[in-house]
Chains A and B, each alone.
Chain A
Amino acid sequence: MFVPTADLSSWLTGLREVYLSEPIDDQDPLPGLGYLKVVPSNVRLVFPDLRRVVFETDIEIAALRREDGTWSRADLVTCQSVFSSANMPNLRHLAVYIGLFRPRYTSTTNILSEFSTLAILSDGKHDHELFRELQAFDKLQHLSIYTDYAIVPHLFDVGKLSLESLHLDCWLLSREQELLPRLVRIAKGRDPMVRIKRIVIYGSRNGLEARTEDLTDAFEAFEWREGQQSAPFEDFDGR
């Protein structure tokens, strides 16, 4: 087996897409936190073709394993050097699952500003923290969200937001009462803080129309994908 060693001044890798997850244990339906080990010599690793990273379960990307088996944080300088536009110049697509563990991408990476698409899949309580980190995604154009958390206060009411497209599950509209009228306002260009060119809704509109009769005319402002049950995640590219 050939493994890049510290002897190499640099090592170019050909991977384009990486998907990381943790196995799901039937005894514990929530997967644990996965660790991606980073050591100082990793600053020599260059991923010139890498364009997509998907964390399908909670992944801590800045970790070192101690001899006793516990984990500590790797030094941030190393992590920020590796996860940077210099070492990953074409990384554009990020998809993250957020469960029980708090995401720390702002502090551990130096590359958030390069992503053009972000897909968030969440059933935990920390997704609002990633919403807060959205400020670091300078070039973000397309956002896909599946969350148990309220979107309006944590995504739309935290500051200015400008996107090419926002992709949401239909059921989120019926769950969060404020969301639908706000989206209508955004789609019609009447929201002073939020600009989104395309709002794409996934799932059937029939059930939703029955519950929101007064707004059904406004549904035409959205792009509907009724044949797809949920907003895209791992293959999300903004289309």
Chain B
Amino acid sequence: MAIATRIPPELLLDIFSTVSDSPRHDYDRYLERNRNLKSFALVHSKWRYRSQEILQEEIYIDTQEEVSVDARLKDTVGKIKVLVDAKIRGTKYLTINGYLDVFLNETESEMWSQIRHLRVWASGSTDGTLSLSELACFPRE
């Protein structure tokens, strides 16, 4: 356990980033990444902060595809609520296989103001469209 406490924070961040890197179109790999980072957080209290930091960098909301609009909407809102309750901050990578407008409406800007990489459906709003102005909701620092 002693070695766990002696690794410099910057190196820890590098290690976590490397082992948790996931292809950003693969939901299963995203879930596996999250499981790994949660495990790292339990190793030692000094690891917790860094692993949480990496954990929050990426959000992937995957909703059921073969359901009605209402069911998908409910699914999207439910998954967003989990993120809001967890007070996610500092996300850089956002994938929404659901509704982008719902995400923006249900969350505070602290959650997405640092998003730099966005993956979204072109029918990514509840009216079945995606507006260029919705892509502009992520401010420049």
Q: Count chain A residues whose beta carbon lies closer than 8 angstroms to a beta carbon of B.
A: 38
Question: Known interface pairs A3-B104, A13-B139, A14-B141. Does A19 touch B119 (Cβ–Cβ under 8 Å)?
Answer: yes
Let me know if B115 and A57 touch, CB within 8 A.
no
A77 at the interface (CB under 8 A from B): no
Known interface pairs A20-B121, A23-B121, A36-B130. Does A11 touch B116 (Cβ–Cβ under 8 Å)? no
Report the nearest A residue to B120, measured CB to CB.
A20
Give the residues in chain A near B107, CB-CB below 8 Å: 1
- How many residues from B make CB contacts under 8 Å with A? 33
Q: B6 an interface residue at 8 Å Cβ cutoff? A: no
CA distance A47 to B137 in the complex (A): 11
> Once the chains bind, are B121 and A12 in contact (CB under 8 Å)?
no
Which residues from chain A contact B66 at a C-beta distance below 8 Å? Answer: 25-26
Q: How far is the CB of A62 from chain B (nearest CB, A)?
A: 10
Please state if B116 and A22 are interface contacts (CB–CB under 8 Å). no
Q: Is B117's beta carbon under 8 Å from chain A?
A: yes
Q: Does A38 contact B (CB under 8 A)?
A: yes
Task: Tell whether B135 is near chain A: CB-to-CB under 8 Å.
Answer: yes
Contact between A47 and B136, CB atoms less than 8 A apart: yes
Please report which residues of chain A, range 1-53, place their CB below 8 angstroms from some CB of chain B when the two chains form the complex: 1-4, 11-26, 34-39, 41-42, 45, 47-49
Contact B132 A14 (CB under 8 A): no
Q: Is A234 an interface residue (CB 8 A)?
A: yes
Q: Is the CB of B133 within 8 A of A4?
A: yes
Q: Is the CB of A49 within 8 A of B140?
A: yes
Q: A26-B66, A37-B129, A38-B132 are in contact. Are A3 and B137 (CB under 8 A)?
A: yes
Cβ contact within 8 Å between A14 and B130:
no
Q: State whether A3 touches B134 (Cβ < 8 A).
A: yes
With A21-B122, A25-B65, A35-B130 known as contacts, the answer to whether A16 contacts B136 (CB < 8 A) is no
A180 within 8 A of B: no
Name the residue on B nearest A17 (C-beta).
Answer: B117
Instruction: Report how far A16 CA is from B141 CA in the complex, Å.
Output: 12
Besides the known contacts A15-B116, A38-B131, 19 further A-B residue pairs in the complex with CB atoms under 8 A apart = A1-B137, A3-B104, A3-B137, A4-B133, A11-B139, A13-B140, A14-B141, A19-B119, A19-B120, A20-B120, A21-B121, A25-B65, A26-B66, A35-B123, A36-B122, A37-B129, A39-B131, A39-B132, A49-B116
> Which residues of A line the B interface, CB within 8 A?
1-4, 11-26, 34-39, 41-42, 45, 47-49, 56-57, 59, 65, 82, 234
Enumerate 23 A-B pairs (CB-CB under 8 Å) in ascending A order.
A1-B109, A11-B136, A13-B135, A13-B139, A18-B135, A20-B121, A20-B122, A21-B119, A21-B121, A21-B122, A22-B121, A23-B65, A26-B66, A34-B122, A36-B132, A37-B130, A37-B132, A39-B131, A45-B132, A45-B136, A47-B136, A57-B122, A234-B25
